[in-house]
Amino acid sequence: MPATIRDVARACGVHISTVSRTFSAPHLVNPETRSRVLACAEHLGYRPNRAARALITGRTHNIGLIVADIANPFFPPLIKAAESQARHRDYHIFVTDTNEDPAVEEELVHALAKQVDGVLLCSPRMSNSLIEQLSRDVPLVVINRQVTGLPNVVIDVGQGARLAVEHLIGLGHRQIALLGGPRGSWTNREIRRTATSAARSADVTLTVIGPNPPTEGGGIAAAEQVRRAEVTAVLAYNDLMAIGLIEGLDAHGVAVPRDISVVGIDDIALSRLTRPKLTTVATPNAAAGRAAVDMLLQHGDDRRTTAQVTLQTELVIRDSTGPGPHSHADPGDAAAAAPADVAS
């Protein structure tokens, strides 16, 4: 028969309420007493009833994590890091998937509101006004989106897009395409804003193709448009699209990087396994997951806060980019492509 809270209290010689506070509000218990209670609980194999604790404290010790597409390799490292950080803080995480649908996002926030102490919204597709409205029902931390008055964790993809465009310009490319992501994506807007600015500053033509599904299939489907655009380089919304684009271009007899250079964003594991290996912008997904959990537990009860964490990105140069037609470098010069280099 499993040990009860009464067993722990009897073994420690304390009142049941002291054992309860040790697990629900440890800061209210004398450190020496708290250590003794925890040692007794460990010895007896006692585990507190979370449901009962929630009735006393009003805390479920559960967190909701809503992601746009769990099949996208961008999300698993973030999810695993968030789960690990939550366990470290004695919390559990419920993960749900919206399949890129803003209506499903709203439905899931409502469904989770009564079951969790807060929700992490990762790459949401809803409008800012709706996110603000939902935050009145449950504490929210937004990942990869800036919403005024709400805590957020932002991966600076704009910085990464600028580095990518500057890399392509440095290789001699003057006709560049931006393969856009899904409609409603804040990340997509940031990439487009900074890529456009970088191209304009260098008097380079940037052709936007999209919006597109942020999938390998989206990249394959866009290959014909890219070929007709007569560009010599492409920056894709993410690695999945870049990998699909390379596959689609190959089907049209267009070689990467000989005919067109391609850059992705995210640095997923597949980007190192493709042929050619993909030049990409590395995003600190795991760090974003950890930071979001910490931010929720620190600021979750403050419904109007300006707390923000901004995480930097890096350009990882591999084999899918090479000299453009306006390059002064020898195409055979390894320094022109500088594979495996990192720019920050």
Q: Residue 336 has what pLDDT?
A: 41
pTM of the model: 0.79
Do 295 and 151 contact (CB within 8 A), yes or no? yes
- For residue 340, the tally of other CB atoms under 10 A from its CB is 12
Q: Name the helix (H) or strand (E) containing 109.
A: helix 102-112
- DSSP helix/strand/coil, 114: coil
Q: Which residues are paired to 207 by β-bridges?
A: 177
Q: Residue 7 has what pLDDT?
A: 87
Cα(210)–Cα(215) distance, integer angstroms: 13
What is the dihedral sign for C-alpha 44, 50, 56, 62?
A: positive
Q: Residue 236 has what pLDDT?
A: 98
Cα(80)–Cα(25) distance, integer angstroms: 27
Phi, psi of 232 (to 5 degrees): -110, -5
Cα(150)–Cα(137) distance, integer angstroms: 13
Task: Spell out, as residue ranges, where the chain has pLDDT lower than 50.
Answer: 55, 330-339, 344
